[in-house]
Structure 1
Amino acid sequence: MNSPETLSLIDCHPSESSFREDVLDGLSREQKQIASKYLYDARGSKLFDRITTLEEYYPTRTEASIMRTEIDAMAEAIGKDTLLVEYGSGSSEKTRILLDRVSQNLQGYVPVDISRDHLMDAAARIASSYPDLDVRPVCADYTSSFPLPEFVEEAARIVVYFPGSTIGNFERDDAVAFLDRIAQAVGAGGGLLIGVDLRKDPDILHAAYNDREGVTARFNLNLLRRINRELNADFDLDAFRHEAVWRSDLGCIEMLLVSTKDQSVRVGEETFSFEKGESIHTEYSFKFTPEQFAEMASEAGFRIERVWTDDQDLFSIQYATVGAW
C-alpha cells in the first residue's frame, strides 16, 4: 500500500491561463463574478477549515453528528470492495468518521481537490492513519471530467462521497448537470453519499456566513489576494468588504465582495472600473427541501435510497444510487 512518502498523485490542476481567462471574463460582465472554486487556494482552504470550527457555522458539526449516529447504515449502503471517491476532500476530517468504519472494506480511496498542497497534506495524513488503505489523490477541478486511477476496474462499484453541501454552490441547472456527471462516473449500480443543507430560519444562515470573528470575510477577500499574486493585479483589499445575504427569491445565501468606493483595478493588462457599492459575486449557497433535492437527483439519473437528518432538521446526508440505463 502507499505510504505518505510515496503517494502517487494524478495531477490535473487547472492551468493559470484558465484562472486568468475566467477572472477576466467574470469581471467583464454586468454583474461581476468569479467562480467559487477559485476561493480554494492553499490559504483559502485553510481559512475554510477554520470556518468549519466556528460556533455560528452549523453545517460541519451537524453533518459530523449525523455521520456518527448513522455510520453503520452508511457503511451498509456503501458496501464491500467499493472504490470511494471524495469530491472536494479538503482536510478530510469528516472522512475519518467514514473511513474508521469502512476502510477495511474498500478497494481504495481517491480524494479529489483543486488545492494541490492542501490535498497532498490531507492524503498523507489519511495514508498514515490507514496504512492498509490504497490512497490515490487526484488534483483536479471536480466540476469537470478527470481520470480515476487504473485500479478502478478492480472495484465492485464506485461510490462518490460529496460532503459539506457543496452541491448548494451550483445554480439548479448546473447542479443537475454536475450530478449527471457523477452518475456517469459511478455508472449503473454506483452510489453517491452527499451532504445536503436544508431550508431553515434565515437568521441562522446569516450568522453562519457573517461570523463574529470575520473568518468568512477573510476567506472571501483572500480571492482578491490570490488574483493579485497569481495574475499581477492590484486589488486594494481594504477597498472591498465581505457581504453575505439571504436571497429569499432564490432560496440561497449569496456571497459578495463589495467595493467601498469608486475605483479602478488592474488585472494584468486589463483595467476594470468599480462604482461605490458595486459587487463581485463569489458564491451561492442554496438550501433545499428534501423534495427539491430528490427532484434534481432524479433528473440526473439518481434514486434517493436513504435520508438521514439531525433532530432539528438543519442538515441532511443522503444516499442515492444509479439504476441501469
Structure 2
Amino acid sequence: MKHATPENEFARALLKGLSDSPKTAEAKWFYDAAGSALFERITELPEYYPTRTEIGILRDRLPEIAAHVPAGAALIEFGSGASVKTRVLLDGLDQLAAYVPIDISAQFLAETADGLRRDYPALTIHPVTGDFMTQLTLPPALDARPKVGFFPGSTIGNLDRDAAVALLAQARHWPDAAGFILGADLVKDADVLRAAYDDAQGVTAEFNRNLLHRANREAGADFDPDSFAHEARWNAAEARIEMHLVSRAAQRVQVAGQHIDFAEGETIHTENSRKYTAESLTDMAQAAGWRVADLLTDPQDYFAVALLKPA
C-alpha cells in the first residue's frame, strides 16, 4: 500500500475529514480518472436530467448566449471533464478565439484537450491542470483577451455559499472579465431529485464508492467498499441533495497508518448538491460582483443557465 507523505494531499485531506464528527470527504476527490469516467456515465442515465436539460438550454438559446460573448473572447471552463456541453458553445460561438479547460484530473484533461485540438484546429486550446477552488494562473497568452467563465453542470451546487461566491469573485477579477455562463440546478420535487442521485443501475453508487477504491490505491487505506451503502438524501432546510456512504456494520479502517472507527449506520458525507431559485442565484451573483443579465430555463423549470455580466 502507498502510505501518506507530506506531498500526498489526498491522504491528508481524507484523514482530516474522517477525523471530523460527522465524518466527511471533499467531493473534488471523486474525480480521478475512474471517477471522471463514471461521472460521464451518470450524465447519460435516464434519471439524471441535469445534463440533457442543460444541453437543451445551451442549444435552444444559443443566440441569446452569443449576444453576451464578445469577439476574440477566451472561454474558461471550471471543472471541464469531457467538455461535452462545451462543444455546443464551441460549435456555435464563432467569435471565440481560445478555450481554457480547467480540471483536476491531469490524464483525463490531456486526453480531452487532444480530442478538442483535432476537432477545432482553428481554436487555441490552453488546458490548465489544477483545483479550480485555488487561485489559478491563466496562460499569459490570454492577458489581452476578453474572458468569459463557464461553469456548467450545476457543479456550483457542490460548494457552500462562501466558496461559491469566492469562485465567482475570482473570475470577476480576471483582467478583461466580460461575463460568466453559469449552470445551476433548480429546486423541484424531492422524488425527482433523489432519483437523479440514486439511479436504478447503481452507477451513482459506484461513483460514490469509487472514493473508497481511490483511498485504497492512493492513501494507504484498507476500505472494503462493499461494506458501505450509497445513500442520497434531500435536505429541504438547506435546499440540497446530500450523498453519504453508510457503514453497514461496526468496523475499523486503516488510512495512511491511522485507524478510523465506524459505528453501524455511521456515514461519510461525501457531497452536497445545492439547488437554487432565481432569488438565491441573483443574491449569490451580486455578492461576487456580478449581475444576472439573463436567466435561461427549460419548459419544466428544472434547470437554469444564468448569464452574468460585471456589476
TM-score (norm 1): 0.92
- Give the distance between the partners of 1:173 and 1:143, measured in 2 at CA: 11
TM-aligned CA deviation for residue 147 of structure 1: 1.1
- Give the distance between the partners of 2:80 and 2:245, measured in 1 at CA: 26
- Give the distance between the partners of 1:85 and 1:188, measured in 2 at CA: 13
Aligned to 1:147: 137
Write the deviation string for residues 138-195 of structure 1: whole angstroms up to 9, x where unpaired.
Answer: 110001111111111231x1111110010000112222222222222x3465211010
Aligned to 1:244: 232
TM-aligned CA deviation for residue 107 of structure 1: 2.7
Equivalences, count: 306
Structure 1 residues 38, 16: CA separation in 2 closer, same or farther (over 3 Å shift)?
farther
Contact 1:190/1:322 (8 A) holds in 2: yes
Structure 1 residues 188, 136: CA separation in 2 closer, same or farther (over 3 Å shift)?
closer
- What pairs with 1:19-38 in structure 2 (closer than 5 Å)? 19-38=10-29
- What pairs with 1:1-325 in structure 2 (closer than 5 Å)? 16-102=7-93, 104-155=94-145, 157-184=146-173, 186-187=174-175, 189-323=177-311
The amino acid across from 2:164 in the alignment is A
**Counterpart of 2:273 in 1: which secondary structure?**
strand
Contact 2:143/2:175 (8 A) holds in 1: no
The amino acid across from 1:200 in the alignment is K
Contact 1:187/1:322 (8 A) holds in 2: no
Q: Percent identity?
A: 45
User: Which ranges in structure 2 are unaligned for 5 or more consecutive residues?
Assistant: 1-5
The amino acid across from 1:316 in the alignment is A
Contact 2:158/2:274 (8 A) holds in 1: yes
- Give the distance between the partners of 1:81 and 1:272, measured in 2 at CA: 53
**Counterpart of 2:143 in 1: which secondary structure?**
helix
Bigger mean CA deviation after superposition, 162-171 or 72-81: 72-81
TM-aligned CA deviation for residue 16 of structure 1: 5.0
TM-aligned CA deviation for residue 322 of structure 1: 1.6
**Counterpart of 2:169 in 1: which secondary structure?**
helix
Structure 1 residues 25, 277: CA separation in 2 closer, same or farther (over 3 Å shift)?
same
- Give the distance between the partners of 1:284 and 1:248, measured in 2 at CA: 12
- Give the distance between the partners of 2:177 and 2:152, measured in 1 at CA: 20
User: Which ranges in structure 1 are unaligned for 5 or more consecutive residues?
Assistant: 1-14
Write the deviation string for residues 1-22 of structure 1: whole angstroms up to 9, x where unpaired.
Answer: xxxxxxxxxxxxxx95221211
Contact 2:102/2:130 (8 A) holds in 1: yes
TM-score (norm 2): 0.96
Write the deviation string for residues 185-220 of structure 1: whole angstroms up to 9, x where unpaired.
Answer: x34652110101101000100110010000000000
Contact 1:107/1:154 (8 A) holds in 2: no
More helix by share: 1
Write the deviation string for residues 32-84 of structure 1: whole angstroms up to 9, x where unpaired.
Answer: 11100000000000000000000000000000001110011111211211111
- Give the distance between the partners of 1:52 and 1:307, measured in 2 at CA: 23
The amino acid across from 1:181 in the alignment is Q
